[in-house]
Amino acid sequence: MKLQGKTAIVTGGGRDIGSACAKTLAREGANVAINYFASSAGADETVAAIKAAGGNAFAQQGDLTKQADVDALVAKTVAEFGGLDVLVNNSGGLVARKTIAEMSLEHWNTVMDLNLTSLFLMTKACTAEMTSGTIVNLASQAARDGGGPGSIPYATSKGAVVTMTRGLAKELGPNIRVNALCPGMIDTDFHNIHTPDAARKGFEAAAPVKRQGVPQDVANLVLFLACDDSAFLTGTNIDINGGMLFS
């Protein structure tokens, strides 16, 4: 029970990596507040699974690019659980693949807000309530290699997450540690929507581990960064990609 008595917020916790993170943190004793935007059924299932296992959780819908929704999530978390110790900034997305020539300013701003502005707003609101604890940011392999075709705004925003993680570690230490991870090919709806099946099969053939990652692989690393097992790590951006990219 590595997080016994702690409280965590997991953004984008209604599916895939976020859901796996919420369940994993809860199994280690954390009270978990789950944010979701559209994945209502998945968020409810995640809460039900946590409660069935004896844990405490709630889910709240919110658009984390909006200050009011951020404030409401943090306020309910503190009211329900009495404090805040762990923030997992998981929400985000690619939206659509577009070249620079095809891209509108609106699309650029949407992706930046989704992946970066939301992280800023959540971090600012949560650190106002945290006297100690950990923040775990979800960056991406795209932050390392520029991403796949048509994903420049996504890759750029995730590169900013990598840099912001380093800056926050300096600013918030020693009481709050801030780390990030950079997932590669993980079997999620993100890749179901945005990555052709042939590319995923090609990854499996080329990867040293000969498989795609699964959400639980990422959740296990999030737990490590969220608890005291990683007590001497801050400002790191850890690759988790099956050996396809070394940085």
Q: Is 36 a catalytic residue?
A: no
Structure-block tokens of residue 236: 């790191």
Q: Could you tell me how far CA 37 lies from the centroid of its own chain? A: 14
The catalytically annotated residue of 36, 81, 154, 190 is 154
Strand order in the sheet with 237-240: 57-61, 31-36, 7-10, 86-89, 133-138, 176-183, 237-240
Instruction: Name which of 127, 24, 143 is nearest 85 in CA terms.
Output: 127
Instruction: For residue 152, give every residue at least 6 positions away whose Cβ sits within 8 Å of its Cβ, in sequence order, or none.
Output: 100, 103, 146
Report whether 125 contacts 74 (CB < 8 A): yes
Compute the residue count for the chain. 247
Which residues form the catalytic set? 154
